[in-house]
A = this chain, B = another copy of it.
Amino acid sequence: MKLSKKNLDQRLNHVYDAIIVGGGAGGLSAAIYLQRYRLSCLVIEKGRGRSFWMQDVTNYLGFSPHTSGRDLLQKGQDHVLSLEGDFLRGYVEDVQDEGETFAVKVKVGKEDSSYPVFRTKYLIAASGIIDNLPKLDNMQNVYDYAGYNLHVCMICDGYEMRDKKCGLFVASEGAINTAFVLNWFTPYITVFTQGLFSVGEEMRQKLQEYGFPLVETPIQRFLGHDHEMTGVELTDGSTVDLETGLVSMGSHYHNEYLQAIDLNWKGGNLVTDSMCRTSHPRIFALGDLKEGINQVSIAVADGTLAATAIWREIRRAAPPRRWEEHLATQEAVL
């Protein structure tokens, strides 16, 4: 059921089989499988993750290419609730390993917050990433285009950028190398650094060899209308025409709640085995939070794997279920 401040006390004495931090594609897939494995789970979703922003999920089998991430998530949430899974809007602040269980502390409500602690046998970390976007005075101007024709993922949307005049927005010299992959899709690339760092001579030369202009003047604002970005205006008043853009400014992970637990990380990613199990036997990690390709399809499969591994363990430890009435009949006959 949908939990909120009003009814969450009903679950404070319950020990879940799994608590899933993050209600994105991976977390919801895990919850669907867990509930169908007859296990009990709670999905805790802070809102506004990466897939929430996607206007078009363009490469997930079975969806028309104009389905939004928001629609996908809503369908998954409804599915989980229809299977009697629990869903809570809240922010996971801390997880403590208590041995047999984890204590999961959640902040619920932005104002007048309550801080319930839920208990679970297994923890699934599916809290994903948040893409760094260009920082402008008026962030609404960025949000107007991000997820529309200002993209954050080349694998997802390289195709949408094909042979278009594309701005590549970066925050480090290393990220400029994205241009030399992006050119598979389009050679009409202009690199914007916003003057956030200095570009070395070698990189300048390489860009010149490829014919990719380098713009170091900060951006004043994105130009466009109806969520279609058509260029940028720089702080010196000049403008650059564009047809699309790719933001490659890194991302940050929502993983602070795992700080108290000793886990094997590789950068911001959790290292997992083939069933998405981390170095802690009762913690799994899915999707963008773990190593690998950041794609909806991968996260959904990760949810399948983690849920199946958890089910196997719980099932094997459970007492066998016999057909009692039939046993009674057998005995009566004997």
Residues of A near any B CB (own CB < 8 A) = 25, 28-29, 32-33, 35-38, 58-65, 67, 72, 75-76, 79, 82-83, 155, 158-159, 162, 180-181, 183-189, 208-213, 274, 293, 295, 297-298, 300-305, 308, 315, 318, 320-327, 330
A-B contact pairs, 8 of them (CB 8 A): A62-B75, A180-B320, A181-B315, A183-B322, A210-B320, A295-B301, A295-B304, A298-B304
**Minimum C-beta distance from A71 to chain B (A):** 8
User: In the complex this chain forms, how many copies of it are found?
Assistant: 2
- Contact status A321-B76, CB under 8 Å: no
- Contact status B75-A63, CB under 8 Å: yes
Measured CA separation A185–B25 after assembly (Å): 26
Measured CA separation A119–B160 after assembly (Å): 28
- Contact status B38-A184, CB under 8 Å: yes
Q: Chain B: which residue is nearest A32 at the CB level?
A: B59
Measured CA separation A158–B308 after assembly (Å): 12
Residues of B contacting A79 in the complex (Cβ-Cβ under 8 angstroms)? 61, 64-65
Q: Chain B: which residue is nearest A26 at the CB level?
A: B61
Other-chain residue from B65, B185, B186, B297 in contact with A300 (beta carbon distance below 8 A): B297
